[in-house]
């Protein structure tokens, strides 16, 4: 089993501003020289874990699109529908059916590739977990969370019972790029990050963090929630659920978002049920929590590793003309990486 990623041996101590900013930078050397055919199936270490799960060569591109993260809704997003690749992987069974019927995609309901990776490399992580890792509701390029009372939320974290202490805040690279970590310092909590999602080792950094804490929490449900519970680490919702304000997105209208805007009644009811399950504190993951989370992660998929390999290889062969262009575009980047290494 893996040891913590370098620099993640004692996350409860927190990271310096310099380290947070360094981990949050997009680095071509950390991303790798394998051409990205579709960012959705590569970002957040998806490319790395898809290849390991399907036993697919590390030097070949993935000519398919996929879900980005884990979401409660079964909506087919514009970037997924517009993908130039007909093959689509999703861990949402209803979404797979919609992509087939409504958008004529060659869609497959597959298990989330992080799960196989975690079990293979982090199944028996050797450490003594303690304290609570609190995930700050993160922003992105077009969306920003709004806390009704950030001071009150941080005060409430500090006042959690002794068994949840000490508290460490985990922040997204998006917020660190915006300098938000410097404003959060005033609350006195150590701050950590899993770094840029473009790094191949993002998945390793994430699991290196969560396995060293006894509990995890956040005011909202995000992809981290599903990964944490699947890993067997208790998670609880705490604090007022933040509002999200969108500006400049081609997928969601500007203004305050509502889950109702992009999910149907079935999705919404599942979300409310999950919120209720996670609104209570437990010292271990409950059977109900695990069952629901495993459903969202597609762990009942019937697509085997061998079947996945055949699908990916067929998609590669069907897109050889695009693959050649991808490699040609990578040549200048390869020279840039070699030059930067010589200069160091």
Count of Cβ atoms closer than 10 Å to residue 307 Cβ: 14
The CA distances from residue 297 to 69, 99, 180, 241, 324, in Å, are 10, 17, 31, 23, 33
Q: Using the predicted structure, report yes or no on whether residue 339 has a pLDDT greater than 60.
A: no
Exposure string for 26-54, b = 16+ CB within 10 A, e = fewer: eeeeebbebbbbbbbbbbbbbbbbbbbbb
Q: Which two tokens stand for residue 257?
A: 């978002």
Q: Please tell me the predicted confidence (pLDDT) of residue 164.
A: 98
Q: Is 23 left (phi over 0), alpha (psi -120 to 50) or beta?
A: alpha
- Report pLDDT digits (tens) over 264-297: 999 999 999 999 999 999 999 999 999 999 999 9
Q: Using the predicted structure, report yes or no on whether residue 193 has a pLDDT greater than 90.
A: yes
Peptide bond into 289 cis (omega under 30): no
303 vs 245, more confident: 303
69 pLDDT tier (thresholds 50, 70, 90): very high
Q: Using the predicted structure, report yes or no on whether residue 72 has a pLDDT greater than 60.
A: yes
Q: Please tell me the predicted confidence (pLDDT) of residue 213.
A: 96
Q: Using the predicted structure, report yes or no on whether residue 325 has a pLDDT greater than 80.
A: yes
> What whole-number distance in Å separates Cα of residue 284 and Cα of residue 233?
7
- Report pLDDT digits (tens) over 38-64: 999 999 999 999 999 999 999 999 999
Contact 29, 196 (CB under 8 A): no
Q: Mean pLDDT over residues 98-107, rounded?
A: 97
Q: Using the predicted structure, report yes or no on whether residue 125 has a pLDDT greater than 90.
A: no
- Report pLDDT digits (tens) over 211-268: 999 999 999 999 999 999 999 999 999 999 988 888 888 878 888 888 888 889 999 9
Q: Please tell me the predicted confidence (pLDDT) of residue 178.
A: 95
């Amino acid at each position: 089993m893996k040891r913590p990623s370098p620099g993640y041996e004692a996350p409860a101590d927190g990271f310096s501003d310099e380290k947070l900013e360094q981990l949050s930078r997009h680095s071509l050397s950390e991303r790798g020289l394998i051409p990205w055919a579709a960012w959705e199936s590569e970002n957040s270490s998806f490319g790395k874990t898809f290849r390991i799960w399907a036993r697919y060569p590390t030097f070949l591109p993935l000519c398919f699109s996929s879900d980005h993260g884990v979401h409660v809704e079964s909506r087919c997003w514009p970037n997924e529908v517009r993908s130039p690749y007909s093959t689509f992987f999703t861990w949402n069974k209803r979404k797979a059916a919609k992509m087939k019927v409504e958008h004529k995609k060659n869609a497959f309901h597959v298990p989330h590739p992080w799960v196989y990776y975690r079990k293979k490399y982090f199944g028996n992580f050797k450490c003594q977990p303690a304290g609570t890792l609190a995930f700050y509701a993160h922003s992105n390029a077009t969306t920003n969370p709004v806390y009704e009372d950030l001071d009150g939320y941080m005060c409430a974290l500090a006042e959690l019972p002794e068994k949840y202490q000490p508290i460490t805040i985990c922040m997204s690279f998006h917020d660190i790029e915006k300098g938000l970590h410097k404003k959060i310092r005033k609350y006195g909590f150590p701050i950590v990050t899993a770094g840029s999602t473009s790094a191949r080792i993002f998945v390793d950094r994430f699991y290196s963090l969560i396995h060293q804490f006894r509990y995890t929490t956040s005011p909202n449900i995000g992809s981290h929630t599903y990964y944490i519970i699947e890993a067997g680490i208790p998670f609880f919702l705490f604090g007022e659920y933040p509002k999200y304000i969108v500006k400049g997105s081609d997928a969601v209208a500007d203004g305050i978002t509502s889950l109702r805007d992009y999910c149907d009644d079935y999705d919404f009811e599942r979300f409310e049920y999950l919120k209720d399950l996670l609104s209570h504190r437990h010292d271990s993951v409950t059977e109900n929590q695990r069952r629901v989370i495993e459903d969202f992660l597609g762990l009942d998929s019937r697509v085997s590793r061998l079947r996945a390999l055949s699908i990916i290889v067929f998609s590669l062969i069907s897109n050889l003309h695009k693959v050649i262009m991808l490699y040609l575009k990578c040549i200048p980047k390869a020279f840039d990486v070699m030059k930067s290494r010589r200069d160091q």
